[in-house]
């Protein structure tokens, strides 16, 4: 079923990017942007994109419920059922802070999950048109071509560590353990960009603290199906709706083991 859904979902995402997201890019009025919480932005494009995606996905697979980021912001009770049954997981614009500032990267992310396990995922970059998708047990693809994760080949692993949702103590611990062990680079503040960087050899490691389903359901599946590894710090798999914190992603299982031992042992 998941393979058969690829073309209609991809077409819907491209339509939303063309008709809603890109016309608003660098074309937002002040009243089109608001803060849901400190440093957590939402724009009129997020809201319109989610409405169109939800309508389209419901038509593609009516038996799946919709778990959308903006719907959950308005009604947190929706998130409580994210791990139950068949659900579309929707991030209408990932990297909204970048989008609102008129700069890349940002993306649209959709996943299909059943009982908390991702079955398929799609990540679209509206600026370049790059479409990453993955199907459980069937591999990962970029613009329809199967890909396999690869390490960057750098002397020290290239790491993008998102520590801004950690406590000061947690942040200090990660910074102390990683100093001199990794080449640290800025995070893109956009999971829709970070996961492709890991799979395509630009980054070797990523660390996330907050792991909401719309940010990570599609990306973890994409990286794992490509042959990289993304899972909880204790080695358990990411599951939609489990309410746990912390994900470590790596371009290979070898690097995941090395980083987990260094950062969390």
DSSP states of 74-92? H-GGGGGGTTSSEEEEEEE
Whether 229 and 252 have beta carbons less than 8 Å apart is answered as yes
Q: Cα(36)–Cα(49) distance, rounded to whole angstroms?
A: 17
Per CATH, which fold does 158-264 belong to? D-Maltodextrin-Binding Protein; domain 2 (3.40.190)
Q: 2-147 sits in which CATH class?
A: alpha beta
pLDDT digits (tens, 9 = 90+) for 84-128: 999 999 999 999 999 999 999 999 999 999 999 999 999 999 999
Annotation-wise, does 242 bind a ligand? no
Check the annotation: does 19 bind a ligand: no
- Answer yes or no: is 94 a known binding residue: yes
Instruction: Locate the domains of the chain by residue range.
Output: 2-147, 158-264
Residue 4's φ and ψ, nearest 5 degrees, are -70, -25
Q: Is 60 labelled a binding residue?
A: no
Distance CA 196, CA 20 (A): 23
What's the token pair of residue 32? Answer: 């089109």
CA-based max dimension of the chain: 51
pLDDT, tens digit, 9 for 90 and up, residues 22-52: 999 999 999 999 987 777 889 999 999 999 9
- Fold match, 2-147 / 158-264: no
69 labeled part of a ligand binding site: yes
Instruction: Give the integer Cα–Cα distance in Å for 18 and 12.
Output: 10
pLDDT over threshold 70, residue 200? yes
- C-alpha span between 179 and 151 (Å, rounded): 20
- Integer Cα distance of 61 and 70 in angstroms: 20
């Amino acid at each position: 079923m998941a393979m058969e859904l690829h073309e209609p979902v991809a077409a819907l995402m491209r339509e939303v990017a063309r008709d809603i997201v890109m016309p608003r890019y660098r074309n937002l009025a002040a009243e089109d942007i608001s803060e849901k919480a400190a440093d957590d932005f939402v724009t009129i494009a997020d809201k319109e994109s989610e409405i169109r995606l939800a309508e389209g996905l419901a038509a593609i697979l009516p038996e799946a419920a919709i778990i959308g980021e903006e719907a959950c912001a308005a009604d947190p009770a929706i998130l409580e059922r994210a791990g139950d049954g068949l659900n579309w997981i929707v991030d209408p614009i990932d990297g909204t802070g970048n989008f609102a500032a008129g700069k890349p990267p940002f993306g649209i992310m959709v996943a299909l999950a059943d009982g908390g396990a991702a079955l398929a995922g799609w990540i679209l970059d509206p600026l370049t048109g790059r479409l990453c998708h993955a199907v459980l047990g069937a591999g990962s693809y970029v613009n329809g071509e199967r890909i396999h994760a690869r390490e960057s080949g750098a002397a020290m692993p290239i790491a993008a560590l998102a520590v801004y949702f950690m406590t000061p103590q947690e942040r200090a611990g990660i910074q102390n353990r990683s100093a001199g062990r990794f080449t640290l680079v800025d995070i893109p503040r956009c999971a829709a960009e970070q996961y492709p960087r890991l799979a395509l050899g630009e980054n070797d490691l990523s660390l996330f603290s907050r792991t909401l389903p719309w940010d990570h359901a599609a990306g973890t599946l994409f990286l794992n199906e490509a042959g990289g590894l993304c899972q909880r710090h204790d080695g358990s798999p990411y599951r939609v709706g489990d309410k746990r914190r912390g994900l470590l992603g790596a371009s290979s299982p070898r690097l995941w083991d090395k980083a987990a031992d260094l950062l969390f042992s």
